[in-house]
Structure 1
């Protein structure tokens, strides 16, 4: 199917690059909203915005088939007061701005997909969490997710369908968590992390991309969706799949106390590693979406086979 215009707000990260690469062959025009200018590449052009104030970029949203908002400071940092404020502001402000701009358009985007996070659910080792029966957790990360989604849904956009896509760890070849985990494995540090019983919900970046086009073709679907592969694994099993894919027979475990020390040294939080995210994509599966990569081992091997 051919599309007229795709808008990617904050489209220079891992998912944005994957989306641009996919849609450039099936869309007339792709517009990336970024804080930094960049030269046009074929039918992909970058417009500068600050994520806080309207500008000339706003008129480009007219007639768009799809708007994907991916804005947000990386949470892989220490949760200092300054970083906490930046993490929330970098998500809430662009989302609020886009809602105001859409409200004033004559021909607004048909579909607005806003990034969201599966970390909104509680630490779960007892049962999986889905959109219908999942329980919202507590703490800073969950508060970020709640404010993000509240801002997204509080603006009424009667002519623009809205989907909050709660993604898990996105496995990709050039960015995100996977390259870092592979480096751990190759240096012999790819054993279990903590007690290894925490679940890892994951998704191949290609399935995230496929999901956005599937949503374009299914106008009956809206609201909150979990975009996570249907077979999450415990940390112990996930690290074993990584070692197998890399041909590394063993990996030293990292107990929780060591992770605490390491997190402080490299400027991150152990929550990103030790929280059990057992999340299932019930609504997507019930609506008929087919994941291309259902098993972590297959996804990891696919990414390793095409990694540059």
Structure 2
């Protein structure tokens, strides 16, 4: 099987590639030298797609490329960069899929639970139809719309709406660890907002599940089946580090530091992976205590 990945040097892509072996994996990247440092030299790298007339040589395309959403304040310029880094490559990939006579059998395209926007305590599955209209929703809504244009009787499309990925290898959790290690960590605001999370291993094995199961298509929430409040998340993280959880991070402090981007952590969603479980996937880490225990042991 031949697989093309965009965003292959990112957290999910770089850890997914070993899972996909012995498949023939190619990675599209604008910075081949950096990607080689992360992934090694035994991968075929594409620095441009301009020379391709279609993607008929590939069986699967996994589209994960995008500017990190939480690395910088959301100025108008940064918002545009976040949008275009996702939308443009998705448009290009879809155009190449649709240009072929024997296109890839599957496109897996990234998204995020930010699609739903801020929500309260209501349990949200893939059938939820009233997202809150804000930047994260607008970003993901357009991203998903573009990916769906590849759907045909020859190509199935799976949209992966990802929650907070639990891993020591990078991502959002790595940014949270330092204050907790110092004993200064705690919930954000009153901690009542829900956090929908997924262990990295379930993230990777879930994507492999979509590839193997040809009946899988459409939208999938990639979150563990047991979302928790920010307070519970904070307590479990502190416990896994044998540290206290007594300090709170006031909302106004986050607003000063992060601006509008603070909405990502001040508000939340209680998202469950209904369709992924119905398709037969069994989570290795369904509970947050299990996820944090695995980080301590590994």
> Aligning the two structures, in what range does the TM-score lie when normalised by the shorter sequence?
over 0.9
Among candidates 8, 12, 21, match of residue 11 of structure 1 = 8
Asked if structure 2 preserves the Cα contact closer than 8 Å seen for 1:14 and 1:172, the reply is no
- The alignment covers a number of residue pairs equal to 293
Look up the match of 1:246: 241
Counterpart-to-counterpart distance in 2, 1:86 and 1:116: 16
Structure 1 unaligned regions, length at least 5 = none
Give the drift of 1:177: 1.0
TM-superposed CA distance for 1:107, in Å, is: 2.8
Matched, 1:302 2:297: no
The residue correspondences of 1:227-242 to structure 2 (distance < 5 A) are 227-242=222-237
CA distance in 2, matches of 1:173, 1:126: 28
Aligned partners of 1:143, 1:131: CA distance in 2, in Å? 17
Pair 42,135 (structure 1): closer, same or farther in 2 beyond 3 Å: same
- Map 1:1-308; keep pairs closer than 5 Å: 4-24=1-21, 26-27=22-23, 29-38=24-33, 39=36, 41=40, 43-49=42-48, 54-56=49-51, 61-76=55-70, 77-263=72-258, 269-306=261-298
| Deviation of 1:156 (Å) | 4.3
- Report the CA distance between 1:43 and its aligned residue: 4.3
Q: 1:62 to 1:280 in 2, by over 3 A?
A: same
RMSD: 1.8
C-alpha deviation, 1:7, in angstroms: 1.2
SS at match of 2:128: coil
C-alpha distance in structure 1 between counterparts of 2:20 and 2:297, whole Å: 22
Q: TM-score normalised to the size of structure 1?
A: 0.89
CA distance in 2, matches of 1:257, 1:106: 55
Q: Name the SS for the 1:56 alignment partner.
A: coil
Whether contact under 8 Å (1:165, 1:227) holds in the other structure is yes
The 4+ residue runs of structure 1 with deviation greater than 4 A are: none
Q: How many angstroms does 1:44 deviate by?
A: 2.1
How far apart are the structure 1 equivalents of 2:201 and 2:251?
Answer: 32
Query: Deviation of residue 155 (structure 1)?
Result: 4.0
CA distance in 2 between counterparts of 1:294 and 1:179 reads: 20
Normalization by structure 2: what TM-score? 0.92
Segments of structure 2 that go 5 or more residues without pairing to the other structure are none
Give distance in 2, aligned partners of 1:21 and 1:47.
Answer: 18
- State the 1:154 CA deviation: 2.9
**In 1: Cα distance, 2:62 partner to 2:100 partner:** 17
Q: Distance in 2 between matches of 1:269 and 1:187?
A: 25
